[in-house]
Structure 1
Amino acid sequence: MPDLNGDLDNFGEETTLSARFSCMLRTVQSCGEYDKLTQGWFENYPAMKIKNAAMEPVTNGLEWAAFTDIVQKEIMHSQAWTMMGFLPYACVSYHLQFASYQWPKIQFPNQMSELNQKLGKMQNLVVA
Structure 2
Amino acid sequence: MTKRVHAMRRRSRPLLATMLAAAIGLFATAPAFAHARLTSSDPADGAKLSAAPTSARLSFSETVLVTDVSLAGAAGREVETHRESAMRPAAQSEVTFDALPPGDYRLQWRAQSADGHPMSGSIGFTVK
Query: What is the TM-score of this pair, normalised by structure 1?
Result: 0.25
Relative CO higher for 1 or 2, CA cutoff 8 Å, sep ≥ 6? 1
Whichever structure has more helix as a proportion of its residues is 1
Whichever structure has more strand as a proportion of its residues is 2
Task: Give the greater-gyration-radius structure (CA).
Answer: 2
